[in-house]
Amino acid sequence: MIRSEDAMTSPAPTTTPAQPPLGSKIAILLGVGAAVGLFFYFDLGQFLSLEALKQNRDQLLAFTEAHYALAVGLFILAYIVVTGLSLPGAVILTLAGGFLFGSVLGTLFVNVGATTGATLAFLAARYLLRDWVERKFGKWLEPVQQGFAENAFNYLMTLRLIPLFPFFVINLVSGLTRMSVGTYVAATALGIIPGSFVYAYAGRQLGTINSLKEIASPNVIGAFVLLGLLALVPTVYKRVRGAQ
């Protein structure tokens, strides 16, 4: 049951959320910019590739078996950083999670990291990067906000299930809407479970995977589309009832 206050009644916020002090805002932005710059300067993305994962799987597995709790903590932290800073590599991390921790626990740890990182990106867009997000992703704002105006929870669930827009774009654009943080967290945590499980399960057969395209088969994509359409059923029903 979606609470009435969570269902948005207009596509854009009527008031601008309170902004942090200018000094704090500048410090955070400099920190984020430095982290992203270091990631690309040192080409850390090379370690978040399918080839690197397969080459280092024995060492990673040995470390996980010897230091399980530490491995879980580092994995979740890495996922938070990658997702929160909108860096490439989340798919590879999900494969690694399935390989190292199993399909179920891997999905759980991915969900914690991805949801936390996505929420940080959501909050950053709302309180720190509003003007930049509007300039950078303005073309996506109108359709996303129109969908949120109907039913924020179900529409975000659909966007998580069906990749109509890049994951990081949804994180940022959602921050410019009136959606509550609680609704955002709940819809994100539930919506990413199917996709996370598919890639975590595939990670168990890491040695047989030669391309990420092998995982996202037409049948898998079709299943995601059906799940996404099911998430829209309450919104469609509400619209039909309103038209009667």
Q: What is the largest CA-CA distance in the chain?
A: 63
CA pair distance 165, 159, nearest whole angstrom: 7
User: Could you give the C-alpha distances from 18 to 25, 114, 209, in angstroms and in order?
Assistant: 12, 26, 47
Two tokens at 230?
């099911």
Predicted local distance difference test score (pLDDT) of residue 13: 42
CA pair distance 209, 188, nearest whole angstrom: 27
CA pair distance 73, 84, nearest whole angstrom: 16
CA pair distance 89, 55, nearest whole angstrom: 16
CA pair distance 109, 111, nearest whole angstrom: 5
CA pair distance 161, 157, nearest whole angstrom: 6
CA pair distance 69, 150, nearest whole angstrom: 42
Predicted local distance difference test score (pLDDT) of residue 185: 97
- Inter-residue contact 148 to 97 (CB < 8 Å): no
pLDDT tens for the chain, residues 1 to 244: 444 344 433 344 444 566 667 677 777 778 877 888 887 776 777 888 999 999 999 999 999 999 999 999 999 999 999 999 989 899 999 999 999 999 999 999 999 999 999 999 999 999 988 888 888 887 777 777 777 877 888 889 888 887 677 899 899 989 988 889 999 999 999 999 988 988 898 888 887 777 777 676 555 566 556 666 665 655 554 555 555 5
pTM of the model: 0.78
Give, as one character, the DSSP assignment of residue 204.
Answer: T
Two tokens at 236?
């469609």
